[in-house]
Structure 1
């Protein structure tokens, strides 16, 4: 399974990015250590792992501690060693996708009038982990889950939207093109 892993760290001088090699990582602690290496003094470190244009895993460290993990689909753990390493130990679902993709209230009327603008959620997606790990950065759980569940939305697209919101989109895109 091919993958792209982008480490994004926010320190006093702004964003730092680096591709993170997960080859030979023994466990999740080893992955976290590789993420810390992007910027050891970072206030916030994120790792975006895109696999085979199908799966996305996001890891977060605050000041090098308190690892939080989100996976776009539990099937990632069954499909590859890297998936098992990143999301295999997560026991519970992130949230029910139906709960965050179904419109409610006045917004429901507006959204049902133009369904072609909002693609349907992937019915087979089974997100796992902490969907709220980016909420304080402007990407609440419902937005993250909606992005991941949107048909036709590839992991690179999701990462691109998230990183634009965070203010590090250009840096991640440069890393992807390098």
Structure 2
């Protein structure tokens, strides 16, 4: 089960709205949705919008959009998020430290004439594809993205999956508006 909410900072405090991510295919789409929602909530163009996403007992993500700046992203467990359609939106090549050019050619010929992933390598083990394309277990992204809002990098990294979004909203002073949309 997924939950996704937008928290837009306005002159009157944080405004929350639940959001459907069915039509969101990229991080850019998600950023645009956040900016549009902020405008609808009465936020200013340069104000902060947070998109909070969680998959129950698996992972959570925080996307911060400040005005027209590029979004800043934190994902609590990249490996778990990679098995989720919403998580895949957040796990960009840049976030994972991948070379986007390699995404076009994931099979590399071996000296024995096979391609990686087609069979055993010289040790007899199944190659399984290039090792640097693996998604790491654990957190990825910018863990300090909420520092100026009262949640340090250390605190964000220590949040448990089941209660992370509620704890973030509590520190922001947005717990009541967040619960209203949950």
Give the equivalent residue in structure 2 for 1:154.
161
Give the equivalent residue in structure 2 for 1:28.
27
Q: Distance in 2 between matches of 1:78 and 1:67?
A: 19
For the pair 1:167 / 2:153, whether they are aligned, the reply is no
Find the partner of 1:140 among 121, 127, 152. Answer: 152
Q: Distance in 2 between matches of 1:75 and 1:13?
A: 38
Q: Which runs of 5+ in 1 are unaligned?
A: 93-123, 148-152
Give the equivalent residue in structure 2 for 1:3.
2
Alpha carbons of 1:76 and 1:87: their partners in 2 closer, same or farther (altered >3 Å)? farther
Map residues 28-67 of structure 1 onto 2, 5 A cutoff.
28-40=27-39, 41-42=43-44, 43-67=47-71
Give the equivalent residue in structure 1 for 2:141.
129
Q: Which structure: larger Rg? A: 2
Secondary structure in 1 matching 2:71: strand
Q: Confirm or deny: 8 A CA contact 1:45 1:62 kept in the other structure.
A: yes
Q: Distance in 2 between matches of 1:143 and 1:27?
A: 28
Q: Which runs of 5+ in 2 are unaligned?
A: 98-135
CA RMSD of aligned residues (A): 1.7
Quote the offset at 1:125 in angstroms. 5.3
Q: Confirm or deny: 8 A CA contact 1:57 1:70 kept in the other structure.
A: yes
Query: Number of residue pairs matched?
Result: 138
Q: Distance in 2 between matches of 1:76 and 1:47?
A: 18
Q: Distance in 1 between matches of 2:9 and 2:144?
A: 19
Alpha carbons of 1:10 and 1:64: their partners in 2 closer, same or farther (altered >3 Å)? farther
Secondary structure in 1 matching 2:156: helix
Q: Confirm or deny: 8 A CA contact 2:77 2:138 kept in the other structure.
A: yes
Quote the offset at 1:162 in angstroms. 1.2
Secondary structure in 1 matching 2:37: coil
User: Which stretches of structure 1, 4 residues or more, deviate above 6 A after TM superposition?
Assistant: none
Secondary structure in 2 matching 1:58: strand
- What does the per-residue CA deviation read over 1:21-50, in whole Å, with 9 as the maximum and x for residues that have no partner? 110212111011111122223411001001
